[in-house]
Amino acid sequence: MKITKLVLPLFLLLSCFTFAQQKKKTTLPPPKIKKVPPLPAPPKAKLYEPTFNNEYFIWKLEKDTLLPAESPYEIVLQVNDYSAFMRINSYPEETEYRSKVVSIKNGDIISRTILMQANNYDVEIKNNILELKNRKTNEVAKFKIIKKSGKIIQLQDLNSKLIFTKDDKYEYYAPPSL
């Protein structure tokens, strides 16, 4: 017992001494945050401006020109940036067709007979050339874009050299049924 009486206080003394000297917990400093430069402002979006906006370009036969029957007297080309519509109006070769009466806005009544052919096209613009790809036949017609003071005023067919002039006042009238 004597030994236990001596060892016990010694143990307590040593244990208090070692537990009292606990190491202080060191807290790490917060990590240094690098300043990230702000992102550059995105480039300003360029406002979409269509090249063509359902505009009409018309080729009309010059007056007093003699052509074979069923030759076109008017070709109307309506173009926007994605598609185009071409209508070819011509007089029929035979006169047996009954003329239809068509009233015009100003009240005049005219009598006429026409044949009409129409095609739809896909549009692509390359190097100031308007390419029209026929949706049925996949044929490509090319038109040179003619500008004056930055505005498109004419289209010239590169194959036939016909010049289509822009017509801002053109209004589409449905053709008379045959």
Amino acid at 94: E
Please answer whether residues 165 and 146 qualify as being in contact, where contact means their C-beta atoms are separated by less than 8 angstroms.
Answer: no
How many domains would you assign to the chain?
Answer: 1
The answer to whether residue 173 is domain-embedded is: no
CB 141 within 8 A of CB 131: yes
| Residue 60: inside a domain | yes
Give the DSSP letter of residue 103.
E
Confidence band of 96 (pLDDT split at 50, 70, 90):
very low
CA distance 94 to 82: 37
Q: What is the dihedral sign for C-alpha 50, 137, 75, 175?
A: negative
List pLDDT tens digits, range 107-161: 554 444 556 678 899 999 989 999 999 999 999 999 999 999 888 999 999 988 8
Counting DSSP H helices and E strands in the chain, the numbers are 1, 10
Instruction: Report residue 59's pLDDT band, with 50, 70 and 90 as the boundaries.
Output: confident
On whether residue 16 sits in a domain, the answer given is no
Structural domain boundaries, residue 60: 55-166
